[in-house]
Every structure is written in structure tokens, then in C-alpha cells.
Amino acid sequence: MRLQKYLALCGVASRRRSEELIKEGQITVNNNIIQEMGFIIDPDKDVVKVKGKAVVPEEEKLYIMMNKPTGYVTTVSDQFNRSKVTDLVDVKERVYPVGRLDYNTSGLLLMTNDGDLAYRLTHPKFKVEKVYMAKIKGKPTVGEMKCFEAGLKIEDYITSPAKIRIIRELNQETIVEITIREGRNRQVRKMCDAIGHPVTELKRLSIGELQLGDLPLGKWRYLLNKELEYLKNL
């Protein structure tokens, strides 16, 4: 079994984050530091440790939906000692966020200890749509929205086709609905910056068919069976 897959099954982190931990030299196999991507282990014989602590696969898989408030980071640790979304979840099992919502963004966040499911939800090739409600400065023109939808040059990449539509016009701002199929760092904010309309408020409403609905801010719930079935069929 590949080392990053084993780490995901142990609930350490998603496969992508597990690869980062391997690169950082945080993982040992039989007390040897491993930094090779795709390193193969035998789960029945090898002892895998993360920062010196042995890890084993999680027995019970948990699937949680949260309405993330602003002012929380979606990482399991933070060098600035900021509040973490994991502080809001009262379960004995170790769960971690699926993807990220930045510190100043609220809304739908999934948490789990199922690394395979986390991988399917975050990898661009699965094209899971994510819908956001954003308040932006000014009002975008038709031309700007066409550029937004066609793909924008952001740093060293071009965004995939997206959607944007105006919901309501305010005095100096506009509320828009944005749909993307990627999940790069601060992507929605960077895309809005690229067309000259910075985000002042941002909230994620849905991931695929999963809707935030009326879940109160800062609260969480377990996924319903039909929601879990949908995710596993992606």
C-alpha cells in the first residue's frame, strides 16, 4: 500500500496533505524517515509514525458537515495559535477538514477521517461543483463576468471554466453567486481580484449536491445516509 494512502486511512490527513508531510520529513517507517512519493509499505508488518507517534487505520469512519464561522482556520494545527475548526467538533475520533475555507470565509465545510473520500472531493479531476455567495466591491460588467467564466490567469495557472451571476445590487457592492470546480488556495477571492472586484464577504453554500441549508453558524451534524451515498458514488 502506498504510504500516503495508508496515512489517509489512519485519519492523519487527506492524501494531498499526507504527501506534504512526507516531503517535510515528518513520516518514518520502521524509524527511517521517508520522503519518497509512492513509497510502499506493508500495513501488517511496518510501523508508521507521524512526528514520532505511531498511527493505525481508523476503525469507524465519520462524516460531518459544519457551518464554519469566520475566524477559524481549516488546519489541524496552526503556528499562530488561532482557533481551529476541529475545536468546534466534539467527537472522540480524529477528523480533519476536507479541503480548505480560509480564515475569513464561512459556510459549508466537510470533515472526515475517510482519506479516500476526501481525495475524491478535493481532486480537480472529479469536478465537484462548489457554490459560493460573495459580496464584492462595485458591479462587474458583462465583459468581466465573461472573462471570469472563461478562465483567468491567476499567478502560475489558468482557472477552469466557472460561473458567476448577480443576485443583488447594493450601493457600492454587489452580491453574486459563484460556482467553481476547483479548490485552490483562496481561489474565489483571487478570481474576483483579477476582474477588479475584491471580495468583502464570502460564504460557501454547497459542495456538489450537499447543501448547507439552515445549519446554524458554528454548528455541525453527521451526514445523512443519502448524502453519504451521493459522495461515495462520485
User: pLDDT digit string (tens) for 26-49?
Assistant: 999 999 999 998 899 998 899 999
Q: What is the pLDDT of residues 137-176, one digit of tens each?
A: 999 999 999 999 999 999 889 999 999 999 999 999 999 9
Query: How many Cβ atoms from other residues are within 10 Å of residue 117's Cβ?
Result: 20
The one catalytic residue in 102, 114, 156, 214 is: 102
Per-domain boundaries in the chain? 3-54, 63-124+213-232, 129-207
pLDDT band at 12 (very low <50, low <70, confident <90, very high): confident
**Nearest residue to 66 via CA among 177, 209, 213, 202:** 213
pLDDT band at 59 (very low <50, low <70, confident <90, very high): low
- What type of residue is 225? N
Spell out the residues 6+ positions from residue 72 whose beta carbon is closer than 8 angstroms to its own.
82, 83, 84, 85, 87, 88, 103
pLDDT of residue 61: 86
Please give the CATH number for the structural domain made up of 3-54. Answer: 3.10.290.10
- What type of residue is 48? V
CB 18 within 8 A of CB 4: yes
Spell out the residues 6+ positions from residue 92 whose beta carbon is closer than 8 angstroms to its own.
none
CA distance 188 to 203: 10
**Nearest residue to 220 via CA among 111, 65, 78, 85:** 65
**Sign of dihedral through CA atoms 37, 38, 39, 44?**
positive
pLDDT of residue 198: 98
Its pTM stands at: 0.76
Please give the CATH number for the structural domain made up of 129-207. Answer: 3.30.70.1560
Hey, what's the cell of 152? 483567468
Coil, helix or strand for 106?
Answer: strand
- Phi then psi for 202, rounded to 5 degrees? -145, 135
Catalytic: 102?
yes
What is the CATH topology of the domain spanning 63-124+213-232? Alpha-Beta Plaits (3.30.70)
CB 118 within 8 A of CB 111: no
CB 191 within 8 A of CB 154: yes
